[in-house]
């Protein structure tokens, strides 16, 4: 459920003309491919030249492999931190990270928005997967897009027709001004769904 939802979010935002940055994924792939290349070259050299001729190279290759894998692990857990979308539209920047708690079918997002010359806004959103997955387990995009447009102001501005003023999942908003002062506002209401008659 999480992977399907994570894949749907960037597709929706890029359809609204958000320009996605691929720097995080590119660095992760680069580190991963470098580790694989070291393993492949080491194996090939050992196969062709034998252990005695390559054992000193192998030592350095193993050290390099562990350094690169350590960097990759740090990048995934310390830098990416579950980010599934980083991008911008006009003079605004948005970064979104997703998470789920084990054995709880609740999808959570941490959203960081900033506009040119204004405060940074950080949102924490959650909603049950049943809001956009039907009873047969199929993903239904429109309810998911409505949720994003209703809860994230930048997305709502880009797709106002999907904003539901009665959207009411858990949301916590934190604003950070230029001096680094943070203010937090939390709202939680009963979940409702707009029904077209």
Report the range of poorest mean pLDDT among 17-26, 28-37, 102-111, 162-171: 162-171
Name the 3-class secondary structure at 190. coil
Please give the pLDDT value at position 11. 95
Q: Give percent of the chain with pLDDT exceeding 70.
A: 83
Query: Distance between CA atoms of 194 and 197, rounded to whole angstroms?
Result: 10
Strands 83-89 and 106-115: what pairing? unpaired
Closest CA to 171 of 142, 192, 150, 193: 150
Query: Distance between CA atoms of 36 and 98, rounded to whole angstroms?
Result: 28
SS3 content of the chain, % helix, strand, coil (to 5): 50, 25, 25
Cut 0.85: pTM above it: no
Average pLDDT over residues 150-172: 79
List of residues 6+ apart from 122 with CB closer than 8 A: 110, 111, 112, 113, 173, 174, 175, 176
Residues 120-133 have pLDDT tens digits of 889 999 999 999 99
List of residues 6+ apart from 128 with CB closer than 8 A: 105, 106, 107, 191
Q: Give percent of the chain with pLDDT exceeding 90.
A: 60
Please give the pLDDT value at position 167. 57
Determine contact, residues 96/81, Cβ cutoff 8 Å: no
Residues 63-120 have pLDDT tens digits of 999 999 999 999 999 888 899 999 988 888 999 999 999 889 999 999 999 887 777 8
| 141 vs 179, more confident | 141
Task: Indicate whether 16 pLDDT > 80.
Answer: yes
* Long-range CB contacts for residues 145-149, cutoff 8 Å, separation at least 24: 145/12, 146/194, 148/9, 148/12
């Amino acid at each position: 459920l999480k992977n399907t939802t994570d894949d749907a979010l960037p597709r929706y935002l890029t359809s609204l003309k958000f320009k996605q940055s691929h720097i995080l994924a590119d660095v992760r792939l680069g580190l991963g491919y470098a580790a694989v290349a070291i393993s492949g070259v080491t194996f090939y050299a050992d196969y062709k030249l034998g252990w005695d001729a390559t054992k000193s190279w192998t030592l350095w290759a193993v050290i390099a492999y562990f350094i690169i894998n350590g960097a990759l692990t740090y990048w995934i857990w310390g830098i990416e931190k579950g980010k599934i979308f980083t991008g911008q539209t006009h003079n605004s920047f948005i970064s979104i990270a997703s998470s789920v708690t084990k054995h709880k079918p609740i999808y959570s997002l941490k959203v960081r928005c900033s506009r040119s010359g204004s405060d940074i806004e950080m949102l924490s959103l959650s909603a049950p997967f049943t809001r956009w997955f039907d009873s047969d387990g199929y993903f239904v995009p429109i309810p998911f897009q409505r949720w994003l447009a209703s809860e994230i102001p930048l997305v709502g501005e880009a797709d106002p027709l999907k904003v539901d003023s009665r959207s009411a999942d858990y949301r916590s908003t934190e604003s950070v001004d230029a001096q680094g002062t943070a203010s937090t506002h939390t709202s939680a209401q009963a979940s409702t769904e707009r029904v077209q008659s």
